[in-house]
């Protein structure tokens, strides 16, 4: 049972991080602008910070796929990444900056209807970081490539449902207007 949970969790991590990194590569200017809008680094370092976050996401996904026996390191790396995102949002919320785009589009176009940062985002990211930290300590046994592949296989439909739900939420106003 524990191996199945770790396999699904690692597969989900791969799908989530690889999808996120792929989106940020394709829309790097948007990603850089989102990082810059948080005003946590000097403007001249925004591209470097955005690139570092993208590399962190991609490298963590790659580690999980290329070395499943090191699943604990991948979980810990992802926990750290989500904690950084949570802290960045919390700092800006404490500054009173509530209209920032969250930057968490994962396959759904940014722009009109994008999600703004909130304490709910911070809570979800913090909770996910804690769960991933727990998985890092629980992943004492290495997984096989087949187990990671099976986890990815089961995680893809969940990611597709998540993306479809996000697209529906972002377009709810437009859909409601057409029905009227």
Closest CA to 16 of 74, 101, 84: 74
For 120-131, write each residue's pLDDT tens digit. Answer: 989 988 988 888
- In the predicted structure, residue 57 carries a pLDDT above the cut 70: yes
Confidence of residue 6 (pLDDT cuts 50, 70, 90): confident
Model confidence band, residue 151 (pLDDT cutoffs 50, 70, 90): low
Question: What is the pTM assigned to this prediction?
Answer: 0.78
State the CB neighbour count (10 A cutoff) for residue 13. Answer: 26
Residue 113: per-residue pLDDT: 47
Mean pLDDT across 79-89: 94
Residue 34 makes CB contacts below 8 A (sequence gap 6+) with: 50, 100, 101, 103, 110
Check if the beta carbon of residue 174 is closer than 8 Å to that of residue 40.
no
Confidence of residue 162 (pLDDT cuts 50, 70, 90): low
Query: What is the average pLDDT score of the chain?
Result: 81
The percentage of residues in the chain with a pLDDT greater than 90, rounded to a whole number, is: 36
pLDDT (average), residues 75-85 = 93
pLDDT (0 to 100) of residue 139: 73
Query: How far apart are alpha carbons 156 and 35 in whole angstroms?
Result: 27
**Of 179 and 89, the one with more pLDDT:** 89
Average pLDDT over every residue of 3-30: 84
- What is the arithmetic mean of pLDDT over 74-94? 94
Averaged pLDDT for residues 72-77: 90
Write down the pLDDT at residue 83.
Answer: 95
Question: Looking at residue 112, what is its pLDDT?
Answer: 46
pLDDT in tens, 101-116: 887 765 555 554 457 8
pLDDT above 80 (res 134): yes
Rounded CA-CA distance 158/179 in Å is 28
């Amino acid at each position: 049972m524990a191996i199945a949970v770790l396999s699904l969790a690692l597969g989900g991590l791969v799908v989530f991080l690889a999808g996120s990194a792929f989106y940020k590569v394709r829309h790097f200017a948007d990603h850089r602008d989102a990082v810059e809008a948080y005003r946590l680094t000097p403007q001249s370092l925004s591209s470097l910070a955005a690139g570092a976050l993208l590399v962190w996401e991609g490298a963590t996904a790659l580690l999980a796929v290329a070395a499943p026996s090191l699943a604990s390191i991948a979980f810990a790396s992802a926990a750290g990444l989500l904690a950084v995102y949570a802290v960045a949002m919390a700092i800006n919320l404490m500054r009173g900056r509530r209209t920032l785009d969250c930057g968490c589009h994962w396959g759904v176009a940014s722009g009109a209807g994008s999600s703004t940062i909130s304490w709910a985002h911070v809570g979800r990211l913090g909770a996910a970081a804690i769960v991933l930290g727990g998985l890092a300590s629980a992943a004492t046994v290495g997984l096989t490539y087949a187990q990671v592949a099976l986890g990815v296989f089961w995680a893809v439909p969940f990611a597709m449902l998540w993306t479809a739900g996000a697209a529906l939420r972002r377009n709810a106003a437009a859909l409601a207007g057409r029905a009227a």
